[in-house]
Amino acid sequence: MNNPDGNIAARSDESGRPVILQVLPALETGGVERGTVDIAGAIVEAGGTALVASTGGGMLHALQRMGAHHIELPLASKNPVTIRRNVARLASVIENFGVDLVHARSRAPAWSALWAARRTGRPFVTTFHAPYSLNLPFKKLYNSVMARGARVICISHFIRQHVQQTYNVPADRLRLVHRGVDLEVFDPARVSPERVIQLAQRWRLPDGVPIILLPGRLTRWKGQIDLLRAAARLPDQQFLLVLVGDDQGRTAYSEELERLIRDLGLGGKAVLVGPCNDMAAAYMLSDVVVSASTDPEGFGRVVGEAQAMGRPVVASDHGGAPEQLLPNETGLLYPPGDTEALAAALREALALDETARRALAERAIERVRSHFSKQAMCSGTLAVYREVLNEAEMHRLRSSPLVHRLP
């Protein structure tokens, strides 16, 4: 089907509008969820119908504001019986809503979505978000569903290489679409001084003290412990280390961090502030932003967002971070788990004078705007949809009895 205006192509149906179903466990906060909402908005803007199936969650209202439709299903469950039952549920959704393409974003619901797509003859696409662990029996088989799409969207070069090498996916089925930063949210010019002041007051931040910010869920692999140990190597340095993130009920870990702060003598120099609903203002408060993940991240949203706000970033040198950050130009990389190297990078970042910080900010903002915008992510994803839908349409036409009767 020709597509001169750039809209999504699709099979003809009663409305003429392509219907895209995205499937994920829930709509709680996170990069996968944020990307799902963004793509739903892009589908609607491009003239399509956006459906999302999940158990629901805190981002449901944001999804609905985009003009998308939500279908509540128990897709967060990893129970094999529930996964199997979800096949029939999703197949019913596909048929009832006239879905043209199914896009799976997480493993457990992807298995249900794959079988439902096959049952209904619809094309199946996946987004591979992370280098899932292989440390348990059958884990590779479980993970492999994310490599079974007609196209597999990879959120970084790192992920593309991982999928190709680990799951033997041919290169012609892989599509690189970097995760995107929302430049309407993460723009220094759009953050009012009042928002920054309110957040500083809520967190009771002292005046004139450099802020080292680590955003991320309070979970061990996000590297909070490494950062605290690195900070303890800087007894002569003035700073306040702010750990931002929700423990999601894992109080044992947050209590461990509080004890470690005391044991390392960081009382008054490190604080846990809980979750934050205004991360743009949080970045504006910071002097240095840290991404200290001990396991490689598929992309590393913090690295992109902080650079978009013009902040120096110190990141562990693995996963998707090195693709985003230009060493010694927009930030610093250090070997994962090396707290001595992390401490040295922190000292160097804190020592930047005003001229150097301004030049770094300009380079960092331009880097994100040129390579990692939400608009680029949405355009890239819609291009994959068009490719797969057009391919499916051509296959349908070739399979038509009328085609076979033509001379």
Residue 245 near residue 215, CB atoms below 8 Å: yes
What DSSP assignment string belongs to 6-49? -PPP----SS---EEEEE-S--SSSHHHHHHHHHHHHHHHTT-E
Select from 300, 251, 313, 7 the least CA-distant residue to 129: 300
Note whether 42 and 377 are within 8 A (CB). Answer: no
Residue with tokens 């292989």: 134
Instruction: Judge whether residue 295 has pLDDT over 90.
Output: yes
DSSP letter at 155? S
Give the mean pLDDT of 347-370.
97
CB of 380 within 8 A of CB of 177? yes
CB 111 within 8 Å of CB 376? no
2 pLDDT above the threshold of 60: no
The residue behind tokens 């205006």 is 5
Distance CA 21, CA 346 (A): 44
Is residue 377 within 8 Å of residue 180, measured between CB atoms? yes
Q: Are 145 and 116 in contact (CB under 8 A)?
A: no
The strand pairing partners of 240, in sequence order, are: 211
CB 235 within 8 A of CB 205: no
How would you class 82 by CB atoms within 10 Å of its CB: exposed for 0-12, middle for 13-18, buried for 19 or more? middle
Q: Kindly state the average pLDDT of the residues 143-155.
A: 97
Query: What is the crossing angle of helices 224-231 and 251-263, to 10°?
Result: 10
Residues making up the chain, counted from first to last: 407
Chain mean pLDDT for the chain: 92
Does residue 125 contact residue 150 with C-beta atoms inside 8 Å? yes
Please write down the long-range contacts of 373-376, taking CB distance under 8 Å and 24 or more positions apart.
373/180, 373/181, 373/183, 374/38, 374/180, 374/181, 374/182, 374/183, 375/180, 375/183, 376/178, 376/180
| Residue 28 confidence (pLDDT) | 86
Contact between residue 145 and residue 111 where contact means Cβ atoms under 8 Å apart: yes
Q: How far apart are CA 29 and CA 142, in angstroms?
A: 24
Amino acid at 30: G
pTM of the model: 0.89
**pLDDT (mean) for 176-187:** 96
Burial of 131 (0-12, 13-18, 19+ CB in 10 A): buried
CA distance 107 to 23: 10
What is the tens place of the pLDDT at every residue in 198-254?
A: 999 999 999 999 999 999 999 999 999 999 999 999 999 999 999 999 988 889 999
Q: What is the pLDDT of residues 40-56, one digit of tens each?
A: 999 999 999 999 999 99
Confidence at 25, pLDDT banded by 50, 70, 90: very high
Residue 135 confidence (pLDDT): 83
Beta bridge partners of 272: 243
Q: Which domains does the chain have, with CATH numbers?
A: 19-180+373-405 (3.40.50.2000), 188-371 (3.40.50.2000)
Q: If pLDDT is split at 50, 70 and 90, which confidence band does 393 have? A: confident
pLDDT digits (tens, 9 = 90+) for 107-137: 999 999 999 999 999 999 999 999 998 888 8
Mean pLDDT, residues 62-89 taken together: 96
